[in-house]
Structure 1
Amino acid sequence: MRIAYWIPVALLALMLAGIGFRYGLIRQGITETDVITLYAQKYLADHAASGVAGIAQTSDCAARPGSGIWTWLVVTCRPANTLGGGGYSYRINWLGGLVDANTPRQAAPLPPET
């Protein structure tokens, strides 16, 4: 068989090895604590911007393992003095990136009672 046919395969294998090495170096320094802290701070910013009731603190957040192959952690945050809904949820991938965020919407003001 001619060697020229295998050159594209070898180049593709080298490129994939380089990408895998790069992502391995990125992933090496990420801990669960770092990710939870980062998204707890994002929760504070999102809560302040949304105008939802309650006082936000970083201790309102907890993490659990994600389900599926793309989600590493799910960080869920809810102000301690709110009832029912109003929770924030951040799905995190294996490299610490945000996959999906669910934030509560600010409720429309109730009409005045007469």
Structure 2
Amino acid sequence: MRVLRWVPIGILALLLAVMGFRYGVIRQGMSENDVITLYAQIYLADHAASSAAGRASSSDCSARPAPAVWTWLVVRCQPQDTGGDATFTYRVNWLGGLIDASGPGRGRQETGPAEPRT
């Protein structure tokens, strides 16, 4: 009867293995360039919706590694012909999901860990 005590632990271990495999497959096909391109497109939409100063282009975006453990990249987008007042910032988790975003007309919006966009 001691075997029955280990059944829930075995089921939990199997579930965690399947989840790890799934997230590994998702992460495997994603590069930093893919993430920057995705958030550059989001930036173009956000810039158009906010009526911020400057002319938006997808080449306005750059990324740097984030200092936080749960954050992978910080993507900053700023139109070239403006100062620092029209900067959009997107923090991205290790699976490509948006953690939070800030910019003109947005303030700082916490979205929590998100599923990756495929």
**Structures share a fold, TM > 0.5?**
yes
Distance 2:54 2:20 in 1: 43
What's the TM-score once normalised by structure 2's chain length?
0.86
Give how far 1:73 is off. 0.3
Aligned match of 2:74: 74
Instruction: Name the amino acid aligned to 2:65.
Output: P
What's the TM-score once normalised by structure 1's chain length?
0.89
| Highest RCO, 1 vs 2 (Cα 8 Å, sep ≥ 6) | 1
Q: How many residues align?
A: 106
SS of the aligned residue for 2:74 comes to strand
- Residues 41-95 of structure 1: per-residue CA shift (max 9 Å, x gap): 1101100111111100111111000121110000000111112322000000000
Structure 1 runs not aligned, ≥5 long: 107-114
- Residues 20-61 of structure 1: per-residue CA shift (max 9 Å, x gap): 001001111000000000101110110011111110011111
Aligned match of 1:112: none
**Percent identity of paired positions between Structure 1 and Structure 2:** 61
| Bigger radius of gyration | 1
Aligned match of 2:64: 64
Which is richer in strand?
2
> Within 5 Å, which residues of 2 pair with 1:1-114?
2-105=2-105
SS of the aligned residue for 1:72 comes to strand
Aligned match of 2:116: none
Structure 2 runs not aligned, ≥5 long: 107-118
Distance 1:89 1:30 in 2: 20
Stretches of 4+ moved more than 2 A in 1?
none
